[in-house]
Copies of this chain bind each other. A is one copy, B any other.
Amino acid sequence: RTLRIGLIPGDGIGKEVIPAGRRILEALPASLGLKFEFVNLSAGFETFEQTGAALPDKTVAILKSECDGALFGAVSSPTHPVKGYSSPIVALRKKLDLYANVRPVKTVLGAAKAIDMVIVRENTEDLYVKEERTYETPEGKVAEAIKRISQRASSRIATIAGEIALRRQKIRAAGNPSIHKGPLVTITHKSNVLSQTDGLFRTTAREALADPRFSSVTVDEQIVDSMVYKLFRQPEAYDVIVAPNLYGDILSDGAAALVGSLGLVPSANVGEGFAIGEPCHGSAPDIMGQSIANPIATLRSAALMLEFLNEEEAAARIYAAVDANLSEGKLLSPDLGGTAKTEEVVADILRRL
């Protein structure tokens, strides 16, 4: 099988880590029967400055017509609002209907805490519909934004969360260590305040997870503020956390803090038969150009993309090579307290494939 993968480095360290993602895919053993073709695509703030569009139509068109998946690096958000600029990754998620943002957070074997969870974030609606307006009043400006929650999006995100919980359980049962007795999905919301919107998310998610095929899945819920508290107090207790877009955004950064560095945390933007791997970190202008960016979030994102393209064996190879590098702990990038350059980390992981 040949997979055609779009490469969208974006800005800052996106340009330093996306090449690493390409290399690990190319280095996968031939025995897996996978071939890759790559197509370079542009998006981001630099692209906006050059062309006036942060997400060129061409990028979207090629992803839609030619590609099986993609790797997206990171984009810079301008500090001051810039007229006409808006985040290309948010647009891409909506344009390709990549309805699930899947963010696994896991400590390596032997870490002080055995954290192994995945945050499944709804990726198309909530406040991210970006419908805003501003008006004048005698007391000054007032701005409003719409938070939109639909039964359809809530149902499909809860369904994929349930599927992921079952798949994780299968992998654990096949021999991986785990603290979880069985699959668990924790629905996160704030329906004590937002009874209609988050209430709809909550009820719909519960209904979707009541499907007989999820009968082995324990379904629980947490109010979002309390979820953040628990995330830090007892992260070992969670398996799959499903949340509306904004809470998912916040929770996944919080979970990343638990494992020591955003530089370790991958994500996949998942739609029907299409997935974009995307490291959770940003464009990190403070370290760009120094060749010290941690490539692991991107390598794991490449694996995660493969998982959702049904190439689980290839994905498992990458995860294992990364875990081996981390367990040994000799060649680590500065965010993990090491001194290795991006290139050295990549080389170490490639040789373990």
Contacts and interface: CB of A to CB of B under 8 A. Distances in A.
Interface in A155-176: 155
Interface string A62-101: 0000000000000001000100001100100000000000
Contact of A141 (B150, B195, B258): B150
**Which of A142, A152, A256 has its CB near the most chain B CB atoms (within 10 A)?**
A142
A107 interface: no
Given A86-B195, A199-B81, A232-B258, A151 B132 contact: no
A286 interface: no
Contact of A257 (B90, B134, B233): B233
Interface residues of A, number: 58
B196 A134 contact: yes
A193 B90 contact: yes
Interface stretch (A9-17, A220-228, A270-278, A300-308): A220-228
Contacts of A148: 142-144
A86 B191 CA distance: 10
Given A81-B191, A196-B133, A228-B228, A139 B151 contact: yes
A194 to B, nearest CB: 5
A177 to B, nearest CB: 25
Contacts of A200: 134, 141, 143
A257 B130 CA distance: 31
Interface centre among A233, A250, A257 (most CB of B within 10 A): A250
A189 to B, nearest CB: 11
Contacts of A90: 193
Contacts of A219: none
Contacts of A152: 139-140
Nearest to A90: B193
A38 B253 CA distance: 44
A192 interface: yes
Contact of A194 (B130, B194, B195): B130
A127 B225 CA distance: 14
Given A144-B146, A232-B258, A225 B196 contact: no
A336 interface: no
A128 interface: yes
A223 B77 contact: yes
A246 interface: yes
Interface string A190-213: 111111110110000000000000
29 contacts: A81-B191, A127-B147, A130-B194, A130-B195, A134-B196, A139-B151, A140-B151, A140-B152, A141-B151, A141-B200, A143-B148, A143-B197, A143-B199, A143-B200, A144-B147, A144-B197, A145-B146, A145-B147, A145-B149, A145-B194, A145-B196, A146-B146, A147-B147, A225-B249, A228-B253, A229-B254, A229-B256, A232-B257, A232-B258
Given A225-B250, A229-B253, 14 more contacts: A77-B192, A81-B191, A86-B195, A87-B192, A130-B194, A132-B195, A132-B196, A134-B200, A143-B149, A143-B200, A231-B257, A232-B254, A233-B257, A254-B254
